[in-house]
Structure 1
Amino acid sequence: MFVKVTKSGSRRYVQLVESYRGEDGRVKKRTVATLGRLDQIGSELESVISGLLRLTGRSMPDHVAPTFESARALGDVWALTELWEELGFGQLRKAFRRTRHSIDIEALVRVMVLNRLCDPDSKLGVLRWLETVSLPGIVAEAIEHQHLLRAMDALIVHQDAVDQVVSALLRPLLDQELAVVFYDMTTIRAEGLSQQDGDVRKFGMAKEGVIARQFMLGVVQTADGIPLYHEVFDGNTAEVTTLKPTIEKVIQRFPIRRVIAVADRGLLSTDNLAELQAISLPSGQPLEFILAVPGRRYSDFVELLTPFQQADCLNATQEVTGELEWEGLRLIIAHNPETAAEQGAQRDRLIAELERKAAEWTGKLDAQDAGKRSRGRKLSDGGARARFYHEVCEAHLARIVRVNLKSELFSYDIDAQALAHARLMDGKLLLVTNTADLKPDEVIERYKSLADIERGFRVLKSEIEIGPVYHRLPDRIRAHAMICFMALVLYRVMRQRLAASESSLSPERALSLLRRIQHHRVTLNNTQPISGISSISQEQTSILSALQVKKPTASKQLPLL
């Protein structure tokens, strides 16, 4: 039974109508009563409602009492969920079909990956975060801490199947004609003092220059900034031992016709060069590489660079590139006069300041020897020598400013040859490569793109917050790294799409603005709750458009947990 408004000429009437099924089985409607003309019933409406309520044994409420639930963030998790499905991460459901767990592993992994991008926290923190978001298709109340840990365990148990899914979704993003692969490693701090079988947490030299308990994370990335592969190594693993097996795994996993491995200075050694030249692609072609010469080895190239410096660089006003032969390989040289001038001026300022301090302390020592008194503590030759040596080391000039540590008296000298060598190397970048068809400026451009993978590590350590890691089991640490790797893939795809749309927003800023799109629920006098989504601004619309994601709707549902 329902209320219906009908027209008769220019007048409108309010009728009470009921539906019934006729003898032929069809649904029909008939008028039970006419309540009056719509333009006249307004003053009597409350009495009509009161009469109907009395007949049903109910009473009219004194006022409408809405109950509002806390608003939940929707926009950011909506956009990430859409990207997750579009890229093919949803295929992980197939990888976990044979798991012994009754929980939805793919949904739990998705929750942890999205948390890394929205509000990275511990696994217990993930549960708190779920209380503040409206994640499509996820019943937050059904998730427990143990479920997240079981999902991490399943990631490792089914790692081969997971790797196949991730590799398959990454292949369409690759340049099949020429894939330039960038490889680098970083250290991830690990907490805890316990020891486990096969523990990857080892004490080693961290990137910050201190000894810490850590594990090593190697990442392979395309020239377009898409992460291809990652691997966890023991915390005391030398970088030079990881490149060859890592590149071989990437070659096996991705059908790339040509691979140019671009790696940082820490990977250049004579042994490593021999191993790299022995690697062949499935096509039979040798692995090509571009490696930077470490600054500590620049002195090995002084004789080679002296003619280049005299011929091309003295009067140059723009960047100069050149090529020499070194141990059967190409040595590519880039000289930037502006950078050289800046580096030289900065070194001269540091040396001048060190000489000023040395002169001040020497004068004070001479005055003390002459019997003159001064304010403050008395200075000794040993104290001046220690302070000066510390200053020299802080300025990274120990090879040029030589402090005599064995002399009883405070003394130092400037190594003229070392200073000349340093000036010769100012503004230069030295690269070793076995590529045959790339011009020197193309080789340099390829290497400079390596800075992008460094940005990827900064994203892992800042926005995604991969460390410090509090897991103690090796497989849990590997699962945590895998979750962060998936988050990095989503982050990079977001960055690509924002850049392609000429947006100046970073992925984290875009997610912050989308987070303001919220999901609301209100209940009126204990009736059925009403759900709704807050209004979407023009800026938020443009972000969704740049990410190629449609606007959120309340009806969208994914498989429930």
Structure 2
Amino acid sequence: MPARSPPFRGIRASTTPGALQEVSANLRVKEVKSSDTERFVVGHNPDAADRDAAVRANLVERIEEMIETSDRLSPTKRAELRGVISTKPGLNRFLRVTPGGLLRVDTARITADVKLDGKYLLRTCDPHLPTEDIALGYKQLLEVERGWRDMKQVLDLRPVYHRLEDRIRAPVVPCWLALLLDRVVETQAGAPDQATTWPRPRDQLPRLHVGIFTRPAGLFRQTTPPSAEVRRLHQGLDIALPPRILDLDTEPSTTP
């Protein structure tokens, strides 16, 4: 099982030669040779890179506002402001103090941070595992952790007010089956250009309704027109859409 390494541990992953290999829409990988006993794989998520850039821009904007008038402060007041910023790790990592004690934005640190947007480092000692399998294996570990969170939060597994094994198993097994159904839907009905999580099909599928109508010719049940997303989900799950007219009662209705 690949393990996530501390942040790059001196490996300059952003400048090592070789292009990133695209594995999926949100995953690119590249192997970095560092030693004979360990293999390092750089993973890159373009969506996470965009989020990292947006967070950094917000932090830099805030710190610029905080130190904008700091040059006019006394050394004591400036030191107090420096102390306040030091308690905020997100802001403090982009702050630089000049030899004269002035507060400045650390542009060199920002430039170095940009190179790491959306990237993470994986480490393994397996000499034969393909690079993409290392990255996908790590992502599967994240899916396992997400499964436990979904069991406890989305499916309301906890709290369990039982102590006997059979009684504990009774609510756990249905929750496990529900989670299995969630994952089957996510895997088979996933959109090609984006990840699909359970809330999306859960919100889309119930939009297909059945209406009961009464006409002089009789009573009939009719389904609503399916949206493009509902059609895609049914096709991905290999489930036939219900017919437009479900049944028709041709006898005159006495219903007013």
Aligned to 2:226: 539
2:70–2:103 CA contact under 8 A, matched in 1? no
Compute the TM-score of the two structures, normalised by the length of structure 2: 0.54
Aligned to 1:483: 174
In structure 2, C-alpha distance between the alignment counterparts of 1:337 and 1:484, rounded to whole Å: 33
**Does 1:466 find its partner at 2:132?**
no
- What is the letter of the counterpart of residue 291 of structure 1? A
Note closer, same or farther for the CA distance 1:457–1:472 as it changes in structure 2 (3 Å cut). closer
1:274-313 → structure 2 map (5 Å cutoff): 289-293=1-5, 297-298=6-7, 301-302=9-10, 305-306=11-12, 309-312=14-17
- Of the three residues 112, 124, 142, the one matched with 1:433 is 124
Aligned to 1:4: none
2:48–2:118 CA contact under 8 A, matched in 1? yes
TM-fit CA distance, 1:399: 4.7
TM-fit CA distance, 1:486: 1.4
Aligned to 2:59: 350
In structure 2, C-alpha distance between the alignment counterparts of 1:382 and 1:309, rounded to whole Å: 35
Compute the TM-score of the two structures, normalised by the length of structure 1: 0.29
In structure 2, C-alpha distance between the alignment counterparts of 1:535 and 1:388, rounded to whole Å: 64
Note closer, same or farther for the CA distance 1:510–1:361 as it changes in structure 2 (3 Å cut). same
Aligned to 1:388: 85
1:329–1:433 CA contact under 8 A, matched in 2? yes
Alpha-carbon deviations, 1:241-281, whole Å to 9, x = none?
A: xxxxxxxxxxxxxxxxxxxxxxxxxxxxxxxxxxxxxxxxx
Note closer, same or farther for the CA distance 1:291–1:539 as it changes in structure 2 (3 Å cut). same
2:50–2:117 CA contact under 8 A, matched in 1? yes
- Of the three residues 30, 47, 63, the one matched with 1:321 is 30
Aligned to 1:144: none
2:16–2:32 CA contact under 8 A, matched in 1? no
In structure 1, C-alpha distance between the alignment counterparts of 2:44 and 2:234, rounded to whole Å: 43
Higher Rg of the two aligned structures: 1
Note closer, same or farther for the CA distance 1:535–1:345 as it changes in structure 2 (3 Å cut). closer
* Paired residue total: 219
Residue 122 of structure 2 aligns to a residue whose secondary structure is: strand
- Of the three residues 190, 203, 208, the one matched with 1:509 is 203
1:491–1:507 CA contact under 8 A, matched in 2? no
Note closer, same or farther for the CA distance 1:292–1:538 as it changes in structure 2 (3 Å cut). same
Alpha-carbon deviations, 1:78-125, whole Å to 9, x = none?
A: xxxxxxxxxxxxxxxxxxxxxxxxxxxxxxxxxxxxxxxxxxxxxxxx
Alpha-carbon deviations, 1:328-359, whole Å to 9, x = none?
A: 22112246899779856863663454144124
Alpha-carbon deviations, 1:457-500, whole Å to 9, x = none?
A: 675466x4426x34444556665443321111122334445459
Identity %: 21
TM-fit CA distance, 1:388: 2.8
In structure 2, C-alpha distance between the alignment counterparts of 1:456 and 1:401, rounded to whole Å: 39
For CA contacts below 8 A with separation 6 or more, give which structure has more relative contact order.
Answer: 1
Where does the alignment leave 5 or more consecutive residues of structure 2 unmatched? 23-27, 213-218, 248-256
Alpha-carbon deviations, 1:481-528, whole Å to 9, x = none?
A: 43321111122334445459xxx99431354235x4489xxxxxxxxx
In structure 1, C-alpha distance between the alignment counterparts of 2:240 and 2:107, rounded to whole Å: 62
Aligned to 2:135: 444
- What is the letter of the counterpart of residue 330 of structure 1? R
